[in-house]
Chain A
Amino acid sequence: MLFMFPVAARSQDILKGSEIHGNFQADASYYLTDPKTGINDSTLAGKLIRMNGFTEVGYTLGNFTAGLRFEAYLPPLVGYDEKYNGVGAPYWYVNYKNDFIDITAGNFYEQFGYGMMFRTYQEWTLGFDNSLRGLRIKVMPYKGITLKGVYGVQRYYWEPYKDYNRGIVKGFDADFYLNDMFNALNDGKVKLTLGGTFVSDYQEGETKDIPSGGKILELTMPQNVANYGGRFNLNIGDFNWFSEYAHKINDPSALNNYIYKEGDGLFTNFSYSRTGLGFSLMSKWIDNMSYKSDRSVTNNMLSINYLPAITKEHSYALASMYPYSTQPNGEVGISGTVTLHFKKNSPLGGKTGLSIAWNFSQVNSIKRTPLNDTTYIGQTGTDGYASTFYGVGDEVYYQDANIEVSKKFGKKWKGIFTYLYQTYNKDVIESHAPGEYGTIYSQIGIADITWNITKKHSLRWEVQGLWTKQDKGNWVAGLVEFTISPAWFFSVMDQYNYGNDIASQRLNYYLVSAGYTNHATRIALSYGRQREGIICVGGVCRYVPATNGMTLTVTTSF
Chain B
Amino acid sequence: MKIFQILILSFFITSFTFAQENVFTFNKLPSVKMKTMKGLPFSSDSIVNNGKPIIISFWATWCKPCIRELTAISDVYDEWVEDTGVKLYAVAVDDSRSMTLVAPLVNGKGWEYTVLLDPNSDFKRAMKVGPIPHTFLLDGKGKVVYQHTSFAEGDELSLIDMVRRLNRGEEIK
Contact = CB atoms under 8 A, between A and B. Distances in A.
Interface stretch (B49-57, B80-88, B122-130): B122-130
B103 A519 contact: no
B107 A109 contact: no
Contact of A339 (B9, B104, B120, B121): B104
A312 B101 CA distance: 9
Contacts of B16: 20
Contacts of A106: 4
A23 B4 CA distance: 21
A506 interface: no
Interface string B1-36: 000111111111111111110011111001101000
Interface residues on chain B, size class? 35 or more
A455 B11 CA distance: 46
Contacts of B155: 485-486
Given A5-B14, A59-B11, A341-B110, A485 B153 contact: yes
A58 B146 CA distance: 19
Nearest to A488: B152
A12 B127 CA distance: 25
A308 interface: yes
A222 B150 CA distance: 49
Given A19-B24, A59-B11, A114 B96 contact: yes
Interface string A339-375: 1110100000000010111000000000000000000
Contact of B130 (A20, A455, A557): A557
B108 A341 contact: yes
A378 B12 CA distance: 54
B164 to A, nearest CB: 15
A362 B30 CA distance: 40
B39 A278 contact: no
Contact of B5 (A59, A89, A275): A89
Interface residues of A, number: 110
Contact of A483 (B121, B146, B153): B153
A486 B161 CA distance: 13
A456 B154 contact: yes
A278 B147 contact: no
B12 A57 contact: yes
B152 A486 contact: yes
The secondary-structure label for the interface of chain A is strand
B31 to A, nearest CB: 7
B4 to A, nearest CB: 6
A242 B40 CA distance: 12
A486 B97 contact: no
Most buried by A among B9, B11, B13: B11
A1 B5 contact: no
A457 B155 CA distance: 10
B11 to A, nearest CB: 5
Contact of A555 (B95, B125, B131): B131
A136 interface: no
Nearest to B8: A66
Most buried by A among B39, B61, B127: B39
B38 interface: yes
Given A1-B9, A8-B18, A517-B148, 20 more contacts: A19-B27, A23-B130, A59-B12, A66-B11, A92-B5, A109-B122, A110-B120, A180-B41, A271-B104, A273-B104, A278-B105, A313-B62, A450-B68, A454-B154, A456-B157, A485-B158, A486-B158, A489-B150, A522-B149, A557-B128
14 contacts: A1-B6, A12-B18, A19-B27, A109-B121, A269-B100, A274-B107, A276-B107, A277-B107, A337-B101, A341-B108, A483-B153, A489-B150, A520-B149, A557-B128
Interface of B: 4-20, 23-27, 30-31, 33, 38-41, 61-64, 68, 71, 75, 95-98, 100-101, 103-110, 112, 119-122, 125-131, 134, 146-150, 152-155, 157-158
Interface of A: 1, 4-5, 7-8, 12, 15-23, 25, 56-61, 65-68, 89, 92, 94, 97, 105-106, 109-111, 114-115, 119, 121, 146, 177, 179-180, 191, 193, 233, 235, 240, 242, 267, 269, 271, 273-280, 282, 306, 308-310, 312-316, 337-341, 343, 353, 355-357, 406, 408, 448, 450, 452, 454-458, 460, 483-489, 515, 517, 519-522, 538-539, 555-558
- Across the A-B interface, give the 10 residue pairs with the lowest CB-CB distance, nearest first: A339-B108, A278-B104, A485-B154, A308-B97, A483-B152, A458-B153, A8-B14, A273-B107, A278-B108, A111-B120
